[in-house]
Structure 1
Amino acid sequence: MAALRRSAGAPHLSTDVRLLGAGDVRRLAEELGVAPTKKRGQNFVIDANTVRRIVRAAGVDGDDVVLEVGPGLGSLTLALLETVRSVVAVEVDERLAAALPATVAEHAPVRADDLHVVSADALRVTELPGPAPTALVANLPYNVSVPVLLHLFETVPTLRHGLVMVQAEVADRLTAAPGSRTYGVPSVKAAWYAELRPAGRVGRNVFWPAPNVDSGLVAWTHHEPPADADRARVFAVVDAAFAQRRKTLRSALAGIAGGADAAEAALRTAGVSPQARGEQLDLAAYVAITRALA
């Protein structure tokens, strides 16, 4: 492993890494015959300042092994290798996965051995090579960002902190508080695993091709899930509560409770008004309702 050359407790910044610019990104794409597709949510970052900003906001340092999803042509990967111990990059596009080691060898030769590439769909990954990842930092594909995030939270328990860049609207949902217009299923389910907080916006002009929407940064810190609670059952209650947002919980939970009267009894046991609606409750309330239903 390449020496990190950092003082104890100080973040590493390698001067041997050359980040990608707009010209580099387009050249690499042309050489590989890659045309970014909406199907895979491919929008490549072409601005070095943006990827460095992401790394800073993620709070990672030379002790971290970072899991990156969708590295694409390597813009964020190289910025991470300026700072962290190593990167495990999961890429679904086989051409991009195969080319990434060569890009890192060219632009960051002293860090080439600190990159591990997994050619796979992140939604199906269950095991990863190398040291266990401690952080997730990624420009997540817009079309599967929430499922990928929840899947990795569940299947990679060593993750402790990080940051993801997602569509601005999704960032608002992930960080929303109960009672807000954007609070919903992603807000509650993500809260099972971590504390999530907004970390800024990213304009569309730093991408190629430019998306039709701005992006949002979401920083997160792991916390232990609620004690003595069944995640699958709690998530089923959450799904039912938000299936029809205008319904009261008495009506929305009738199907999984065995009737509206049973749902009302469980809600009262949990200390929740039967006339409340799903968007008004936090995770703790959903855990209490699930226990009452049981």
Structure 2
Amino acid sequence: MAVLLVEAGTALSDSPRLLGPAQIRALAAELGVRPTKTLGQNFVHDANTVRRIVATSGVGADDTVLEVGPGLGSLTLALLGAAGRVIAVEIDPVLATRLPATIDEFAPAQADRFAVLTADAMAVTGADLPGSPTALVANLPYNVAVPVLLHLLAECPTIATALVMVQAEVADRLAAEPGGRVYGVPSVKARYFGTVRRAGAVGRNVFWPEPKVESGLVRVDRTATFPDDPAVRRDVFTVIDAAFAQRRKTMRSALAGWAGSPAEAERRLRAAGIDPGVRGERLHIDDFVRLAAVAAS
């Protein structure tokens, strides 16, 4: 992984100025940037939207915010007006290289509290970051939103809260409760890290280019309910994946491959206090954690 760390310079000014449609298009034209589907790029150009995201995140002067996919800097500038520090991870080297200059121009008083890494968020580890983030606030690339969210929550245990903007359908899946039609792997895995809830909707018209889908905000508040142990988490996530691989099957059948046989799957399920005839969408994260513990014992 090639990582380029760029620190913005220091200057004095008032609160950050936010980007509007004209500034977004001017920056894009300067850089010769056309948003790509491959990188999931849709740039927010509405100042009220980024203000709302920051307010909903609840970040303050004591927070170090990790932002993924800052793009041209719309949300970054709003975050710098509230947070103590912002660390941005941007996969596009052209955008990453331009960001410090944008911060110097639009938020000179906050420029020394900003850093950008040129890297793929899915390859970033906590050790790569120049600081320990306490919050994740991001307009995540929609094509990899769930993997990026889960990866960063796992890699950065100091993140206490996360507020991410994702495709509306993905937001519904992440926030779904057991028994719901869209409750599945993302819903359960996100709850390993903490409580999950929908935190608002975002219309299409605040983006350039305008996406074909609606967007939603999801908030995760980390809890210490389950072990912050990669091995334990891996075991739990393996059970979750197996349980939802064939949604219509009962747990006795769905987990037969994971357990080695239907009989062993039933034994483990009963030992964990779970009805072998239930389907995966009825189980809570607590059930999967108990089941993984039975298998490991």
Q: Quickly name the TM-score band, shorter chain normalised.
A: over 0.9
The residue aligned with 2:261 is 259
Alignment of 1:32-181 (within 5 A): 32-126=31-125, 127-181=127-181
The residue aligned with 1:197 is 197
Please tell me the residue identity of whatever aligns with 2:123.
R
Please tell me the residue identity of whatever aligns with 2:294.
A
Please tell me the residue identity of whatever aligns with 1:44.
F
Q: Distance in 1 between matches of 2:73 and 2:79?
A: 10
Task: Give 3-state SS (helix, strand or coil) of 1:68's partner.
Answer: strand
Pair 266,98 (structure 1): closer, same or farther in 2 beyond 3 Å: same
The residue aligned with 1:208 is 208
Contact 1:60-1:162 within 8 A present in 2 as well: no
Contact 2:14-2:107 within 8 A present in 1 as well: no
Which TM-score applies when normalising by structure 2?
0.92
2:286 pairs with 1:277:
no
RMSD over aligned Cα atoms = 1.7
Post-superposition offset of 1:293 = 2.7
Q: Distance in 1 between matches of 2:14 and 2:198?
A: 30
Task: Give 3-state SS (helix, strand or coil) of 2:59's partner.
Answer: coil
Contact 2:180-2:281 within 8 A present in 1 as well: yes
Q: Distance in 1 between matches of 2:224 and 2:201?
A: 28
Please tell me the residue identity of whatever aligns with 2:37.
K
Task: Give 3-state SS (helix, strand or coil) of 1:230's partner.
Answer: helix
The residue aligned with 1:268 is 270
The residue aligned with 2:5 is none
Please tell me the residue identity of whatever aligns with 1:17.
P
Post-superposition offset of 1:225 = 4.5
The residue aligned with 1:7 is none
Alignment of 1:214-233 (within 5 A): 214-227=214-227, 230-233=232-235
Unaligned runs of 5+ residues in structure 1 are 5-13
Contact 2:193-2:226 within 8 A present in 1 as well: no
Unaligned runs of 5+ residues in structure 2 are 1-8
Post-superposition offset of 1:2 = 7.4
The residue aligned with 1:8 is none
Q: Distance in 2 between matches of 1:17 and 1:286?
A: 45
The CA deviation string for residues 73-125 of structure 1, in whole angstroms up to 9 with x for no partner, is: 00000000111111000000000000000001111111111110000000000
The CA deviation string for residues 30-86 of structure 1, in whole angstroms up to 9 with x for no partner, is: 100100000100000010000000000001011111000000000000000111111
Post-superposition offset of 1:189 = 0.7
Please tell me the residue identity of whatever aligns with 2:203.
G
Structure 1 stretches of 4+ with a deviation exceeding 4 A read 1-4
User: What is the count of residue pairs matched by the alignment?
Assistant: 285
Pair 27,92 (structure 1): closer, same or farther in 2 beyond 3 Å: same
- Identity in percent: 60
Q: Distance in 1 between matches of 2:220 and 2:295?
A: 31
Contact 1:66-1:137 within 8 A present in 2 as well: yes
Post-superposition offset of 1:162 = 2.9
The residue aligned with 2:240 is 238
Q: Distance in 1 between matches of 2:273 and 2:234?
A: 22
Q: Distance in 2 between matches of 1:134 and 1:242?
A: 32
The residue aligned with 1:10 is none
The residue aligned with 2:292 is 290
Post-superposition offset of 1:291 = 2.2
The residue aligned with 2:26 is 27
The residue aligned with 1:11 is none
Post-superposition offset of 1:15 = 4.3
Task: Give 3-state SS (helix, strand or coil) of 2:105's partner.
Answer: helix
